Amino acid sequence: MDTLDRKIMTQLTEDARVSVSVLARRLDVARTTIQARIERLETSGIIGGYTLRPGPALVKHRLRATVLITIEPRAQPTILTRLRAIDAIIAVHTTSGRFDLLAEAVADTPAALDEVLDEIGQMPGIRGSESLIHLSTKIDRGL
């Protein structure tokens, strides 16, 4: 990726619906160059797709939590299957360090979030968990 590719990625991250013509004008590059670069970024897997990102009107009323999870050895496949079945879990990452997994959860009410956290804590194969409730977002680059 060169400087132009990074500029294209920045523009598309801010607004994935922007037209190739508008991108070309903003970046002062030929439309065909922008189109070819986008196709190459898609083909190479740098652009993995285009998706909807919920806006502040939806997100501001939802509670978010990061759940740091320690698991028993060899329990990961079973735990991932169980976490996948919980709609409130929007992402799970493996980690290095003290914790084995990092789960991101959302809920509409404190009681609903509490239920999700209890469900996670009661899963067989989980040694322990620590929850961090998100209070406010200071930086969000959407990546």
Q: What is the pLDDT of residue 8?
A: 93
d(CA 72, CA 51): 35
Q: What is the pLDDT of residue 13?
A: 85
Using an 8 Å Cβ cutoff, are 65 and 113 in contact? yes
d(CA 58, CA 38): 30
Which residues touch 104 (CB under 8 Å, ≥6 apart)?
Answer: 64, 65, 66, 67, 89, 90, 91, 92
Q: The tokens of 134 are what?
A: 């998100």
d(CA 73, CA 71): 6
Q: What is the pLDDT of residue 1?
A: 87
Q: What is the pLDDT of residue 61?
A: 65
> Which residue type, as a one-letter code, is found at position 3?
T
For domain 56-133, give the CATH number. Answer: 3.30.70.920
d(CA 69, CA 120): 9
Mean pLDDT by 10 residues, the chain (143 residues): 92 90 95 95 92 67 91 96 95 96 94 96 95 89 64
Using an 8 Å Cβ cutoff, are 104 and 64 in contact? yes
Enumerate the domain spans of the chain. Answer: 3-43, 56-133
Q: What is the pLDDT of residue 76?
A: 96
Second-level CATH architecture of 3-43: Orthogonal Bundle (1.10)
